[in-house]
Structure 1
């Protein structure tokens, strides 16, 4: 069965979220949801998440999975909110524990925060197979951008997270804690070894001037045209290019609030004695 896929683009963070389902009235997974956040006021809203809720309820779908490709550094996850609204299990790659361990130290999180992945309902391992109703899905470990990056193959479609962007944009950065350009190269080659017509769905698009945002390509398109890893680019050449480019990049605007939320599966930190929830801003730490 070919999956049915509905994309939702958030133009504030250039993020694409997906509802993947077998049939109307059937079962679905939500991939890389967005909780809206205003860094000027510190306020959150669920406007973007409600678009997914409306679609799911309008097609009478049962949510089985709320999938995260990694602990995003550029947007907050709405996974916790969506589980309360729609049900389903929140899942992420098992290596999230490595990311949690690093950032528990960076943010000096409360002692009760456990870097063991227990904030998520399920930790997925490489090649682990699961069902979305009548659809067969498989987790594909693709570290490099972060240690916990996971792509999700659902029949002929793969949701690649930040590992790949559209061919004219290239690949993910590798300068976050635990990132590694050599590892990313191997992960990209893993994806590009899939059949040529496999559909690839991006988590973000940062379109060059003159192009509208888009988020779907194929293995064949990426092999032929990706500006960083097209056929013939060696691992050493990629690592040199990626390292040089990463040295010029600023930190994402939302990295400090988003990572604190996303390593908790989209849940806010516990409120303090005055009933207010706080996010931390470590100074000179990144």
Structure 2
């Protein structure tokens, strides 16, 4: 069966437009596909499974992906997932700027094209995207130029506020940002909410309520999904023993890991691995 491919001519208002916005409010389950344009994926709310070149990512509000032309990606297990998809054609960009440093391209490893946005960053990009959405649906020359200017502003803001999901490079993040970083860093090791709350003088109940309001899931569920995504990626790509994968993904007991994995995917870890052999 041939793979679905999306084409520039079906999405851009005119051949002169370098950028357009496709909101997915909500984003339904969508099969693995490619396209001949590039794309920024910004997760607004909800959660789901984003598969990019066979690597699964459990996504929620604040996740940012730079998707290159011919990347294979799709969405599974969506739950009230809402996205801003900003589509762009690099060869149509006319403004002089250091675009390669702003938009990780074909030369960038996939790990360099998945980021988190801080709470402040999500707040600041919202009005820019709203204005861009309106301008990119106009065909006059000034609107086309303004659309590209807004896209440059958006790209600059994304670079200012993005940070690696598992790195503490975020210096002035809000507590929710710091919790997200702690969870991504805690995939392969023990994470204790009590220790995090004590470190930051927080009420466990308050931060957990804020987290669920922000993501739609509990802290424990989010961390478990992160660990399962890492396990799925390792089962697809590595020959490590299942007990080693279990340990690397933060599960102290391989039998418990197998039970959780089977409940989440409907197949055992070994059966899942066999699918990709």
Q: Do they fold alike, i.e. is TM over 0.5?
A: no
Q: TM-score range by the shorter chain?
A: under 0.3
Report the TM-score when normalising by structure 1.
0.26
Structure whose residues are more often helix by fraction: 2
Report the TM-score when normalising by structure 2.
0.26
